[in-house]
Structure 1
Amino acid sequence: MSQISNAIATRDNGPSSVIEQYKPELALVAASHVKVDTFARLAVGALRQNPKLAAAAQANPGSLMSALMTAARLGLEPGTEQFYLRPIKRKGQPEVQGIVGYQGIVELIYNAGAASSVVVEVVRANDQFNYVPGLHERPVHTVDWFGERGDLVGVYAYAVMQGGATSKVVVLNKDHIARAKAKSDGADTEYSPWRTDEESMWLKTAARRLGKWVPTSAEKRTAALERTDAPLPASPAPGVLEAADPDDETPIEGELVD
């Protein structure tokens, strides 16, 4: 059992109480822009809205705090589309797993300050999509927002950098998505986001690939820093996404609670 799990076991292990008790520890690891009181309220709210999540947190409060520590370090809001909290079973035992959502990845890109905008969009069968590398700077995507768009067929992502240049454009088809899904633990279980919110998972896969080509940061650049001549990082901070979000890259022995 981990040190944090041992410490939690000696205290009141109700999930809401654990979060309150460990706010000082969260503050120590949190990105500088995180307001820990607000962060804690979001986490408690997520538990109250999802009885199965609350039960997993009650059974394994150490896993809850591990997930929350990761969210705090990245500066992402827990229990939102930035950072999902979901109940899983690992070797038959319930626990809480933290997963970075596609909006969280976009937030990490914005935090680095190198991008002025980030575009992540799905393409459906009845959309018009055209992108020829070397000919087009960015994809040309035309959508009939009030018509029947059809099934998902692809997804793309790119960033417009400060100064107007376009980053590498990531374009993924159904085969790319299928391979990413195959690496995701519990993808075919009832409560997997691959089944409950498939479009968001397509968006996340593209955003995650983009995050390997543009700078990402857990810390927001301050207005004062942006007024200086300090250079922007030329490449993503190593390990920011990989260490935080194993869901798409490293299959683990676990299944979602159903």
Structure 2
Amino acid sequence: MALSSLKDRVRAATTEQPAADATVQALATDAQGPVPAAQLHTSAQAEGDDVADVALAWLEQYGDDFTKALPAHIDVKAFLSAVRAALPGLVHCTPASLRQALLTCARFGLVPDGRHAVIKREGAVAVFVPMAQGYVELMYRSGRVGSVHVGLIHEHDEWNFEPTAPAPLDFTHRPALAKSKAERGPVILAYAFCWMTSGARSQVVILSREDAEEIRDEYSTAYRRAKESGADDSFWHTDFTKMWAKSALRRLHKVVPMSAELVALIKADDAGEAGQVQVIHAPEDAGLADEAEEAHERAEESQDPQETRVRPLARKRSQPRRSTRKGRKGARR
């Protein structure tokens, strides 16, 4: 009997049970080709909610995987509830890529609500895209960052930047909030900086529009693909100022304390922009921990040199037990 509605076709295509030994990496590599559920077109707008409900029911089969990936403070039902709103726009994606993108999002403890993260379709592939608020969230979780500031400077705002002046006198921004958007003029700069829990402030990262465009042109495969196809539907097309601000925020990784989790988020974000599989790493991965520690050391060195304070002892990286005594001799004072 022919399936008469889109809802019936989605239900029929999503009845396959998940493999018992499925893992995040396996979900990233299996089912390389599109399957019927991923190729369906929402031919009738009235069926959109039905499609989302059926697709959500299919994802709920993987509830244990999402529960294991999510941190304790995020309920799996709340996570999947946020996912539902985006599902009608993701029915063209392969199931493997959709599961992988959602599991990656869950692994970082970010909800795909449009503020912290987004699951976006690139061709037949679902891609996890952390947003600026997602980066801020992970910076706070590091325990070393007290506050994060990201802003946009309009043409007629009052601002001043003197890199040679001591922090916080080197940078000021007074938005002309009493003026209308038209009176404030176009955005001319994006900036970001952090205050540490130690009381020190990071360097201020400032990006011009030209800087943001260079980042977009060099690193975003999604932008190039959308431009070449004439679709103009990448985030760089539809939300340029948000991506501009996010780029300034990302540049902070060179001058703020980093956690292994934040290093992993940057790598996953870069892979998505480059059109690569977003394979995530465990936070205890030695390479990520080393990168995070190096970023922390750079952040410490970037602070106001005129500020007198006792430098903390360098953190000793994990070493084999036999070399522990030697490592103590090499620790910085």
Taking structure 1 as the reference length, the TM-score comes to: 0.76
CA contact (8 A) 2:138 2:262 kept: no
Query: In structure 2, which of residues 95, 106, 109 is the aligned counterpart of residue 75 of structure 1?
Result: 109
SS of residue paired to 2:222: coil
Structure 1: gaps of 5 or more residues: 218-235, 254-258
Structure 2: gaps of 5 or more residues: 1-24, 39-53, 277-333
1:105, CA displacement in angstroms? 0.6
Name the one with the larger strand percent: 1
Output the CA distance in 2 between the equivalents of 1:190 and 1:146. Answer: 34
Instruction: Give the count of matched residue pairs.
Output: 221
Output the CA distance in 1 between the equivalents of 2:86 and 2:275. Answer: 24
C-alpha change, 1:252 and 1:54, in structure 2 (3 Å) is: closer
C-alpha change, 1:174 and 1:163, in structure 2 (3 Å) is: same
Output the CA distance in 2 between the equivalents of 1:153 and 1:31. Answer: 38
Name the one with the larger helix percent: 2
- In structure 2, the residue matched to 1:29 is 69
1:102, CA displacement in angstroms? 0.7
CA contact (8 A) 2:144 2:197 kept: yes
* 1:166 pairs with 2:198: no
- In structure 2, the residue matched to 1:144 is 176
CA contact (8 A) 1:156 1:206 kept: yes
SS of residue paired to 1:177: helix
CA contact (8 A) 1:122 1:155 kept: yes
CA contact (8 A) 1:109 1:211 kept: no
Query: In structure 2, which of residues 139, 144, 152 is the aligned counterpart of residue 122 of structure 1?
Result: 152
CA contact (8 A) 2:116 2:131 kept: yes
* 1:242 pairs with 2:256: no
* Percent identity between the two aligned chains: 30
CA contact (8 A) 1:84 1:100 kept: yes
- In structure 1, the residue matched to 2:243 is 201
Match for 1:240: what amino acid? Answer: A
SS of residue paired to 2:149: strand
Higher gyration radius (CA) = 2
* 1:213 pairs with 2:255: yes
Deviates more, 1:162-171 or 1:67-76: 162-171
Query: In structure 2, which of residues 46, 51, 57 is the aligned counterpart of residue 17 of structure 1?
Result: 57
Taking structure 2 as the reference length, the TM-score comes to: 0.60
1:171, CA displacement in angstroms? 1.3
SS of residue paired to 1:123: strand
Match for 1:165: what amino acid? Answer: A
* 1:55 pairs with 2:91: yes
Output the CA distance in 2 between the equivalents of 1:65 and 1:78. Answer: 13
Output the CA distance in 1 between the equivalents of 2:106 and 2:125. Answer: 19
Output the CA distance in 1 between the equivalents of 2:125 and 2:275. Answer: 13
1:68, CA displacement in angstroms? 0.8
Match for 1:211: what amino acid? Answer: H
What value does the CA root-mean-square deviation take over the aligned residues? 2.7
Output the CA distance in 2 between the equivalents of 1:251 and 1:86. Answer: 14
Output the CA distance in 1 between the equivalents of 2:167 and 2:261. Answer: 25
- In structure 1, the residue matched to 2:275 is 252
Output the CA distance in 1 between the equivalents of 2:58 and 2:98. Answer: 9
1:30, CA displacement in angstroms? 2.3
CA contact (8 A) 1:15 1:54 kept: no
SS of residue paired to 1:245: helix
* 1:97 pairs with 2:130: no
CA contact (8 A) 1:63 1:97 kept: yes
Match for 2:136: what amino acid? Answer: V
